[in-house]
Structure 1
């Protein structure tokens, strides 16, 4: 099939066409024939992951989308050496614009159209020749071994372009002249020679997603040039990544936390990139001389680090960092990439993992009809997803349930069968919000106790929320209402307090707490959340400020899209139809604001390669807040969030629990046989059965079942060596326990020194 090329595109590649037939790509002299076959087999596996292995009429829509994008790139191609540019909207004179990185991304799009079976340009010789001429142009004008960065983003030179370039060359491999291929890849010897080393910043050792991305580029260059040394280098670099880190700093932790840029939770952004690259490297190098071994930890990472944060195929925003502000990267994009990686790993995963993952993924794919997987994923992944959906032996898995405390990144996730609730905290260990490359300019409060409620509305967080929500009124936060300047590039704010963390019990209940020390304000507060089977109870105390400004606690700020849904109010409660009930538990009436808000993605992201557009978008919001007045001295709050509750359940909820304390020393409540408490320091709280006490800081959960008591304890402050817990009942013995839990007369002593905020659990007889 002949593709209609424009005259200028044809001329660009004319010099290349004549040599295509003579290119025979002999293997390097040092490689035996079997070695050359191994290189080619691994490269072809990679291409099949990108473009699919064969054409199927069922994929017509996706194929047409791939072809449409590639045609758009080809149609607008207009090389101007003097300018220089390949496309009029991407002048290449100034590397600081990032246009050279964008240009290589467009080349990848063109190459994908050429390599995808079923497109009109599939393996078209003139298209390949045009692409070769364009790659020559980019090498000569924007990216060769003799150029310098001139202050532009190091990432483009060492990761962005190498990844796009190696993908492009792999996809077009059978249509490219070998001598030019070597030339185009030559700059990688300078800019991406080693996955573990950052060329632009000597001394920096690459970690996490950056190392995984570089390993992919190095491995692909090895396959394309038949260089086994590069493949061994990439394999070894990835193998080091598979081991959990003990911290501090970047990497995956044993509790499932993932940190990038030293102090920021990034499971849903850099973590996804890591998983994607590692999964594809494992698949690409499987059964080759460079096969990656010792990959058991990758499977554990899926369970520990990703499953808790994926809600019906959406990646929770609480772990996406500054990417929440990027218009082209929504929660469903991160979710799709996670699913794609898991589907890739399923090809060879041990059955004990696969038997869990197949129903899990099938459930995500089945429930999320708001953004169908087929519209986002590459063809090969769509084929795997459709096979899974069509397999009658695999059930549709339910939503994940459980309570997860990620002590090493100050995040807590509470998941019930129909809803989920996440909490973002910060401390002297974990940054409050990252702003880099002019992204996330208004993310001031996203790490100050922001809460994320997930319900059956799978579009709440991705439907233009971040450019339209009031950034001064994020759910869960207590804020000084002052106006703020945009966050500065690279500025780190680590609140000067160790207090952030929590504890979980039985995968059904949880407690989270943080000490708020506001940025640039005298505002202080102690905030706690009690995570129950049907509700989240939020208690605040010690709310004080002295700057002459009003202080607010935001109970909710809900994006209801293009209309205000029904709202019912009563004495101290509010019910928002289709979302939740909100009950004030201390007699305070909430303030409710309903309004339309308009914003632009450009307002929150002006990055060189990610910047949003200037189109105004409008959404309706219902805001529920507690007004603490100007300069409160001893402010407090107590409210319940009741997802899926009816109006009647909301109105009656105040009597369902008993708040035992909400003071600067102790915040505690009880319901039925459950006791939950935050001891900010040594203290005692009276219960119906007697005093409950702790002689040091901790979060505590206790559940009594006749003569057996299950308890979980942690120290979010990381200051206590040992805490003595005096229960309301005499302790007869410790039946089961983690290390460091023992009976002490009528109490239980728990060693917490060195626990890094992680829980200790026990079962005691009373």
Structure 2
């Protein structure tokens, strides 16, 4: 086998070759010899097995279940083979296009290295990682091929000389590439190629990391910045791997300590995981499904790599709780919900199934060390995700090691296929709410003076204007809806759930940061079945104002809007739905006040208003929404069909309102019978409330009263409230999304005789209840009382 670089024995100039020098180990590494070299080798081999897998047979071998059927083994073989073929094809493309030109300089014609601001050096190291992964993966044609290893060595020498060494200047390029992107790709590459590397090269190539990534907790390019979240975890991985590769125990220990610090919840404000499961990165943005997944992946692999070693990470119990609290609510059949992926929704190569795959892989990795109380829940849960997720190419995307773990779990007869999880989750610390039922899920993305509406750095997410303005995300059995080229083709002015004025917008500028000047965003949940969400809309660059509320029931979502006012001379619309129906317009049925879209949902207008339905093909390009240096989409046009349902409030509305119901998976028969099931008790700028089957749900924007079927319900301060009565017992949950009051007095339609159980913040006050909400950051307070 002959490859381009191996035909150029004089790749580097004589002067450059003569300049090769061994890295003199820093003083901090003195004493590392006290640790047996075998421990470093074991950690490195464990890391390689996490990336590339072990023997071919590991694709279908389980440690506890060896009596696999021929069908099980065939499935594992097929999955593993598909993955290795895909990996081999990518690696061969890397080799085939390799044409080093020292004078230009470039390793590949499409990635000139002269200007670091292009990010091409980062992309070049990513290609080297692909090549190294194929070299280390059993089953590929280039597995441990000596000539491929020599080619890789010369390529890494070239990159060191021309793209990434300790004497270079960033020249205004993205700090992330220098301190995380390249260090992660480079250390992975060196670990994967380790057995095929000359002994004098490793320390030379890793020398730049002493300058650019010496400490997981500090940012070299911006002194004073303390790394948090995914950035710290990514740096910890690079630092740990450099320590393992160079037998430097102090580096490995430093990385482990940095990760341990991350596992403690924060009270905010700012980056980190919160006790309610929220995850914030870049100070004000919900990023569970992007930076959060990167964090989880890094931590899971670091825990696995160092398990049983002298540097085993201790105090990691929180990471298992984080999986349940922060990640599982946002994973729908292996897809990561876009409402927590931030600007990554605009990146062509990172869609919801890519982020979901990372989360699945992280959980599979953590299963190796998880306590049984977690593992017992996770195995059926993950098996359910994998079993139902047949529409997305998990098997062709996942690393071989993940394929092995996934196939072993799927073939294990002792693990049942877990159902979709259900429940209502209010993430008060990041203005997100998720409502999950057995066959569907609904998420709401809000913003406030605490949580940014949309991030658009690095020329990404250029049309994300309204993604945090009350956008709603409906997940059904169609697992391709959100990832089938939706973001470049959907009308970005008509996102589901939003109320917008129709002004034209310019691309979001770099580092755009809009925090709406209102504290009002949040909600409350009760018994994992019912929920309320609400936000006060203060539109950016517009006079538009509105009060928006969602009531989350067992079979429907009721959306109310009130106080919709604007004075800019433009039309205002509320978008009930904007559904990607892929390559066709499915049949649509309209009844008296309702619309039915087969396979998706029924939509009922509850206040007599008329809805406009628009059906059209839309064409866009990924490049239109992402022009990033290393992420930018291609310019090929893509076309999808959309069904848009909207309510037109006219030009400059004054105190307009809306009321509609979304009934996921409803049939036409159910839509015909739905009228009258919901009673709207109020829909004004003061209070919005509904009632059904003994449940009353309300948003009090200020102190007030609402008449329920059983009598008046009164509060003396703003709050969201859920009340559920069964005989003499009443369960209730209350929160203050405005975070402006210390106490709320609630007078129910029935006198309170006693408090059966409650949070410490709830107490009886004669025949009413008083709830101390001050300092609770919008979180719920619950009680059960006898009336």
Pair in the same fold by TM > 0.5: yes
| CA apart distance, 1:118 | 1.6
Unaligned runs of 5+ in 1: none
| CA apart distance, 1:572 | 1.6
Any idea what SS the aligned residue of 1:653 has?
coil
1:120 equivalenced with 2:120 (yes/no)? no
Q: 1:749: which partner in 2?
A: 770
| CA apart distance, 1:11 | 2.9
Q: 1:758: which partner in 2?
A: 779
**Whole-angstrom CA distance in 2 between matches of 1:519 and 1:6:** 54
Q: 1:11: which partner in 2?
A: 9
Contact 2:184 2:234 in 1 (8 A): yes
**Whole-angstrom CA distance in 2 between matches of 1:108 and 1:752:** 51
Contact 1:316 1:331 in 2 (8 A): yes
**Whole-angstrom CA distance in 2 between matches of 1:516 and 1:31:** 58
**Whole-angstrom CA distance in 1 between matches of 2:505 and 2:530:** 36
| CA apart distance, 1:61 | 1.9
1:513 equivalenced with 2:514 (yes/no)? no
Q: TM-score, normalised by structure 2?
A: 0.95
| CA apart distance, 1:195 | 0.2
Contact 2:733 2:783 in 1 (8 A): yes
| CA apart distance, 1:129 | 1.2
Q: 1:55: which partner in 2?
A: 56
Unaligned runs of 5+ in 2: 58-76
| CA apart distance, 1:652 | 2.6
Q: Deviations over 1:659-682 (max 9, x none)?
A: 000011110010010000000000
Contact 1:13 1:130 in 2 (8 A): no
Q: 1:182: which partner in 2?
A: 203
Q: 2:516: which partner in 1?
A: 495
Matches within 5 A, 1:176-215: 176-215=197-236
Q: 2:47: which partner in 1?
A: 46
Q: 2:431: which partner in 1?
A: 410
Contact 2:705 2:715 in 1 (8 A): yes
1:607 equivalenced with 2:628 (yes/no)? yes
**Whole-angstrom CA distance in 1 between matches of 2:369 and 2:328:** 19
In structure 2, the CA distance between the partners of 1:12 and 1:716, relative to structure 1 (3 Å rule), is: farther
Q: 2:357: which partner in 1?
A: 336
1:524 equivalenced with 2:545 (yes/no)? yes
| CA apart distance, 1:264 | 0.1
Q: 2:314 aligns with which of 267, 287, 293?
A: 293
1:458 equivalenced with 2:479 (yes/no)? yes
Matches within 5 A, 1:674-685: 674-685=695-706
**Whole-angstrom CA distance in 1 between matches of 2:714 and 2:5:** 83
Matches within 5 A, 1:151-170: 151-170=172-191
Any idea what SS the aligned residue of 2:706 has?
strand
| CA apart distance, 1:113 | 1.2
Q: 2:60: which partner in 1?
A: none
Contact 1:537 1:641 in 2 (8 A): yes
**Whole-angstrom CA distance in 2 between matches of 1:269 and 1:32:** 38
Any idea what SS the aligned residue of 1:476 has?
coil
**Whole-angstrom CA distance in 1 between matches of 2:329 and 2:677:** 28
Contact 1:580 1:645 in 2 (8 A): yes
| CA apart distance, 1:461 | 0.2
Q: 2:658 aligns with which of 615, 637, 649?
A: 637
Q: 1:735: which partner in 2?
A: 756
| CA apart distance, 1:425 | 0.1
Q: 2:397: which partner in 1?
A: 376
Q: 1:278 aligns with which of 284, 299, 309?
A: 299
In structure 2, the CA distance between the partners of 1:609 and 1:525, relative to structure 1 (3 Å rule), is: same
**Whole-angstrom CA distance in 2 between matches of 1:9 and 1:145:** 28
| CA apart distance, 1:14 | 11
Any idea what SS the aligned residue of 1:113 has?
helix
**Whole-angstrom CA distance in 1 between matches of 2:398 and 2:182:** 22
1:367 equivalenced with 2:367 (yes/no)? no
Report the RMSD for the aligned CA atoms in angstroms: 1.8
| CA apart distance, 1:439 | 0.2
Contact 1:583 1:651 in 2 (8 A): no
**Whole-angstrom CA distance in 2 between matches of 1:33 and 1:75:** 45
| CA apart distance, 1:34 | 5.6
Contact 2:11 2:158 in 1 (8 A): no
**Whole-angstrom CA distance in 2 between matches of 1:9 and 1:724:** 81
Contact 1:535 1:642 in 2 (8 A): yes
1:533 equivalenced with 2:554 (yes/no)? yes
In structure 2, the CA distance between the partners of 1:9 and 1:64, relative to structure 1 (3 Å rule), is: farther
**Whole-angstrom CA distance in 2 between matches of 1:664 and 1:12:** 76
Any idea what SS the aligned residue of 1:110 has?
helix
Contact 1:12 1:130 in 2 (8 A): no
Q: Deviations over 1:305-331 (max 9, x none)?
A: 011000000000000000000000010
Contact 2:6 2:150 in 1 (8 A): no
| CA apart distance, 1:29 | 8.4
Q: 1:723: which partner in 2?
A: 744
Contact 1:674 1:701 in 2 (8 A): yes
Q: 2:563: which partner in 1?
A: 542
Contact 2:606 2:660 in 1 (8 A): yes
| CA apart distance, 1:30 | 4.5
| CA apart distance, 1:294 | 0.7
**Whole-angstrom CA distance in 2 between matches of 1:183 and 1:225:** 11
Give the count of matched residue pairs.
759
| CA apart distance, 1:285 | 0.4
**Whole-angstrom CA distance in 1 between matches of 2:341 and 2:230:** 13
Q: 1:147: which partner in 2?
A: 168
Q: 1:171 aligns with which of 177, 192, 195?
A: 192
| CA apart distance, 1:450 | 0.1
| CA apart distance, 1:653 | 1.7
Contact 1:13 1:129 in 2 (8 A): no
Any idea what SS the aligned residue of 1:63 has?
helix
**Whole-angstrom CA distance in 2 between matches of 1:31 and 1:499:** 54
Any idea what SS the aligned residue of 2:214 has?
coil
Q: Deviations over 1:430-476 (max 9, x none)?
A: 00000010000000000000000000000000000000000000000
**Whole-angstrom CA distance in 2 between matches of 1:675 and 1:14:** 75
| CA apart distance, 1:8 | 5.1
| CA apart distance, 1:522 | 0.2
Q: 1:104 aligns with which of 111, 121, 125?
A: 125
